[in-house]
Each structure stands twice: as C-alpha cells, then as structure tokens.
Amino acid sequence: MPQLDVSTFLPQIFWLVITFTALFLIMWKIAVPGIANTLETRQKRIEDNLDKATQAKQEAEETLAAYEASMGEARTEAQGIHAEAAKGLSDEADARGAELSENLSGKISESEAEIRRAVEAAMDSVRDIATEVAGDALERLTGQPADDKALSGAVDRALKADG
C-alpha cells in the first residue's frame, strides 16, 4: 500500500495541509456564514411568528371580551323585552278578564230579570188559573156562581201565605 510507504509521508502531509487549509478557508468564508445567515433568518422568522401569535391571542381575547359584553347586553335587553311583553300580556289579560266579567255580570242581571219576569208571569198565570179553578169548584159544590172579587182576594191571601 502506497499510503504506508515511509518515503511518501512528506508529500502526503504537504497535500494534507494544503487541502485542510483550503477546505477550512472555504468553510470559514462561504459555508459557515451562509449557515449562520440561514439560522439568523430562521430565528427572526420564529420570533416574528411568536410576536404575531401573541398579537393574535390578544386580539382574540379582546374579541372574546367584546362578544361576552355584547351577549350580556343582549341578555339584559332580552330580559327587559320579555318582562315588558309579560307585563303587557298580563295587563291585556286583566283588561279582557274585567271586560268579560262585566259582560257576564250584565248577562246574569238580564237573565235574573228575565227569570223574575217569567216567575211573575207564571205566578199571575197560577193566580188566574187558581181563581178560575176555585170559582169552578165553588160553583159545582154550591151551584151558585162565586163573587170574582172575593174569590180573587182569597186566592191572593193563600198565595201570600205560601210565598
């Protein structure tokens, strides 16, 4: 193997030093600064993204706070509208109930008056029928016609005593 021949050590070391120096200079002047620039650019981009994420988080928190505030206002307004509507419906129901009660009271009064008139008419009919029956019965029993005024007075006294 020629690498292990002692007579070729000096030229091999010479070319090793030249190659190492050339590669070292190429790495130092070209590759390492390019890698450093890439790392710096990447770090700046990461920091910018973190800043943007922080800003987005703050904006989201502000938006959430505004949303919750508007929802609270909307709930309060909805509760007010609901209370107002419930009060309006309650007032309307009370007014309709009063109107219905008044109408029913009027109809009850009219019905009572009609019933009173019907009872009075029936009583008059009963009085007339009773007077007529009593007159017929008295005439059949005695054979003489009865006095209408006396018979009418007797039937009125009998009805008042029952009533």
**Mean of the per-residue pLDDT values for the chain?**
90
For residues 36-49, average pLDDT: 97
For residues 124-151, average pLDDT: 81
Look at residue 27 and tell me whether its pLDDT is greater than 80.
Answer: yes
pLDDT tens for each residue of 75-99: 999 999 999 999 999 999 999 999 9
Q: What is the pLDDT of residue 148?
A: 80
Residues in the chain: 163
Query: In this structure, is the dihedral angle defined by the CA atoms of residues 45, 51, 52 and 53, taken in order, positive or negative?
Result: positive
Look at residue 1 and tell me whether its pLDDT is greater than 70.
Answer: no
Look at residue 5 and tell me whether its pLDDT is greater than 90.
Answer: no
H-helix or E-strand spanning residue 132: helix 32-142
Look at residue 132 and tell me whether its pLDDT is greater than 90.
Answer: no
**What is the C-alpha separation between 112 and 91, in angstroms, rounded?**
31
Look at residue 105 and tell me whether its pLDDT is greater than 70.
Answer: yes
C-beta separation of 154 from 130 below 8 A: no
**What is the C-alpha separation between 159 and 128, in angstroms, rounded?**
11
Look at residue 51 and tell me whether its pLDDT is greater than 90.
Answer: yes
For residues 39-61, average pLDDT: 97
C-beta separation of 124 from 155 below 8 A: no
What's the predicted TM-score (pTM) here? Answer: 0.43
For residues 124-134, average pLDDT: 81
CA-to-CA dists, residue 105 to 92, 99, 110, 117, angstroms: 20, 10, 9, 18
For residues 97-126, average pLDDT: 89
- Lowest-confidence range among 58-67, 96-105, 132-141? 132-141
Number of Cβ within 10 Å of residue 123's Cβ equals 13
**What is the C-alpha separation between 124 and 159, in angstroms, rounded?**
11
Number of Cβ within 10 Å of residue 155's Cβ equals 20
